[in-house]
Structure 1
Amino acid sequence: MSFNDILNITLMQGFAGLSLFSVLLLMGLGLAVIFGQMGVINMAHGEFMTIGAYTVFLGSTLTETFAPGLMQAYFPLAIVAAFLFAFIAGWLTEWALIRHLYKRPLDTLLATWGLSLAIQQVFRTFVGPKEVSPTLPDWLMGSWAPVEGLDIPINGMFVMALTLLVTGGLLFAMYRSRWGLRVRATVANRSMANATGINTRMTDRMTFAIGCGIAGVAGAAFTTIGSTGPTSGSLYIVDAFLVVTFGGAASLLGTVASAFGIAQTQSISEFFLTGSMAKVLTLMLVVTILMIRPQGLFAAKVRR
């Protein structure tokens, strides 16, 4: 095997890592909003990702059945629908369950874990236990070969572009919108935020729903690189929490850096090791760094 072959394989593995990075980042961003900004441990976060994935599958099935001429255009609309369905589900979850459990982290963890199992059973009952995949439009298929021997999947580039769009939009909303100002004020000092007229209860609900909506977008992105089953979201929940904790619980930029590092380490090491050993190696590196820097890569600045 020549040096160019090794270089091309490494680059392709690195790009595969970017696809994993995109899904982990979208999952991590939703968790960073919910866990980092609100302190809520949402063990059902993976199921909101699955809601987004099943929404794309439903959109694909309905379009293929009733409007096959629109198959090339349904996917962007399905992504928007995935966000909306997950957003509505998150809004209802916060109203019905989470708002009663603030400042009770153990109860929140157990309640959302139970919710996760219940949603998985709903998926099995109404969708089926088998994994499904949507029919992707033709423009998402194939690959781009900038040089001979280096093939970059088009669906991976699309997922990366979608991730950049969502990340930029969330950062803009967090630091340049009235909602972001209210979230940051509530996180800094809830009592003072209430005193200045901010409806912190509504801010909490909106924040939780937006975090779940971003998980729905992660599910839509996931359909381009894998099939979806009732437990697909739960397979990513540990990695997503790892991304948020490693990056710094209250830092969106830390979430980006953490997702990139974890995804690239895991993807490139999978070429040289088995999948299980690659995960072990990644976890060992993360744990070692957290032992040295327990506050994460980007610690939040706290006034004392």
Structure 2
Amino acid sequence: MSNILSQAFNGLSLGSILLLISLGLAFSFGLMNVINMAHGQFLMVGAYTAYVFQQTLATPLGGTEHGVWFVLAIPAAFLVTAFLGWLLEIGLIRFLYGRPLDTLLATWGVGLVLQQAAKSIFGAPNVQVSAPSWLDGGWAVTPDLMLPYSRIFIIGLATVSVIAIYVYLNKSTAGRRLRATMQNREMAACLGVASRRVDAGTFALGAGLAGIAGCALTLIGPIGPSLGTNYIVDAFIVVVLGGVGRLPGTILAALIIGVANTLLELGTTASLGKVLVFALVIAFLQWKPKGLVALRGR
């Protein structure tokens, strides 16, 4: 039982990372109908931002173990990846709306460029980011059940990010414009909403969330240029399962897939567990094609 609970907790932390990645995809896919194959590379950029902060700021800020550099790396990763996302939208994707195949191929090419740039700058081998000392160890719930502080931190980071997104969407003018554009682009434009500006801001927001997820991933294991490739398929599955453009569905789907992945690996292998998860998702979508949370219409 302790082993099952421990795996379920690990799955919850994995689901939290998938949630941060998938929220960005849900925005871009739901708002602009853009299949962004470079989204996984934004995850990689966020992870390498944390690595750069460790290499350059850890010593001046009191050493690696204090972790001040890591706290600063989280907003920095958001800003760096958000800026890259904004550049990608205004420089390329803006000219490809309504052409989904061209958008898919173009973003896939951008992803390859970012991956090769990471290999050229940091090298092909994986690198390790040292966790702050206050994230060492874990919370001993029972003598047989230990919950690592690093994974508790990841879950907390995802929770804070979701609350911030909720406040942004419901309490700010920019968030209300984003929701209006997602629901009815033409009507929002008629009422004076600059939809192209909303598109650029939303794409930047989605990329920034992927950057935060990349920072969180450095607490789990080493990072490398192909880091994003390992998560992009799962992120797309989360978006489709939750309901395209439906944020509550995305949150629920990310947690379900994260926990299911780890629990199914207990009695099988990692590859077979992932195959079983995909099979269950496909079977569910045959029953409810619009996902867990369908968009209501009149």
TM range (shorter): over 0.9
Tell me if the contact between 1:140 and 1:154 (Cα under 8 Å) persists in the aligned partners. yes
Counterpart residue number, 1:93: 88
The amino acid of 1:22's aligned partner reads S
* Structure 2 residue 48 is matched with structure 1 residue 54: yes
From 260, 263, 270, give the equivalent of 1:265.
260
Counterpart residue number, 1:17: 11
Distance 1:236 1:61 in 2: 25
Tell me if the contact between 2:30 and 2:182 (Cα under 8 Å) persists in the aligned partners. no
Return structure 1 stretches of 4+ with deviation > 3 angstroms: 64-71
Tell me if the contact between 2:58 and 2:68 (Cα under 8 Å) persists in the aligned partners. no
User: Which has the larger displacement, 45-54 or 128-137?
Assistant: 128-137
The amino acid of 2:16's aligned partner reads S
Tell me if the contact between 2:138 and 2:148 (Cα under 8 Å) persists in the aligned partners. yes
* Structure 2 residue 224 is matched with structure 1 residue 229: yes
Distance 1:48 1:170 in 2: 19
Counterpart residue number, 1:165: 160
Distance 2:23 2:252 in 1: 11
Tell me if the contact between 1:250 and 1:299 (Cα under 8 Å) persists in the aligned partners. no
Instruction: Encode CA deviations 1:232-288: one digit per residue, 9 max, x unaligned.
Output: 011100000000000101110100110111111110111111111101111111000
1:153-302 pair list within 5 angstroms: 153-302=148-297
The amino acid of 1:133's aligned partner reads Q
Distance 1:206 1:89 in 2: 11
- Measured after TM superposition, the shift of residue 178 of structure 1 is 1.0
Distance 2:155 2:88 in 1: 29
- Measured after TM superposition, the shift of residue 302 of structure 1 is 2.7
Where does the alignment leave 5 or more consecutive residues of structure 1 unmatched? 1-6
SS of equivalent to 2:58: helix
Distance 1:172 1:203 in 2: 17
- Measured after TM superposition, the shift of residue 186 of structure 1 is 1.5
User: Which has the larger displacement, 239-248 or 218-227?
Assistant: 218-227
User: Which has the larger displacement, 37-46 or 61-70?
Assistant: 61-70
The amino acid of 2:27's aligned partner reads V
Where does the alignment leave 5 or more consecutive residues of structure 2 unmatched? none
The amino acid of 1:78's aligned partner reads A
User: Which has the larger displacement, 183-192 or 22-31?
Assistant: 183-192
Tell me if the contact between 2:74 and 2:215 (Cα under 8 Å) persists in the aligned partners. yes
- Measured after TM superposition, the shift of residue 204 of structure 1 is 0.5
Distance 1:262 1:123 in 2: 29
Tell me if the contact between 1:247 and 1:296 (Cα under 8 Å) persists in the aligned partners. yes
Counterpart residue number, 1:118: 113
The amino acid of 1:159's aligned partner reads I
* Structure 2 residue 69 is matched with structure 1 residue 102: no
Distance 2:67 2:191 in 1: 49
Counterpart residue number, 1:152: 147
From 126, 134, 143, give the equivalent of 1:139.
134
- Measured after TM superposition, the shift of residue 226 of structure 1 is 1.8
What percentage of residue pairs aligned between the two structures are identical? 45
Distance 2:32 2:162 in 1: 19
- Measured after TM superposition, the shift of residue 73 of structure 1 is 1.4
Tell me if the contact between 1:50 and 1:233 (Cα under 8 Å) persists in the aligned partners. yes
SS of equivalent to 1:43: coil
Number of corresponding residues = 297
Q: CA RMSD in A?
A: 1.2
Instruction: Encode CA deviations 1:66-116: one digit per residue, 9 max, x unaligned.
Output: 444474312111001000000100011111111001111111101000111
Distance 1:190 1:255 in 2: 21
Distance 2:115 2:10 in 1: 28
SS of equivalent to 1:249: coil
From 38, 41, 58, give the equivalent of 1:44.
38
Tell me if the contact between 1:61 and 1:134 (Cα under 8 Å) persists in the aligned partners. no
The amino acid of 2:32's aligned partner reads M
From 74, 90, 93, give the equivalent of 1:79.
74
Distance 1:226 1:31 in 2: 24
Tell me if the contact between 1:29 and 1:255 (Cα under 8 Å) persists in the aligned partners. yes
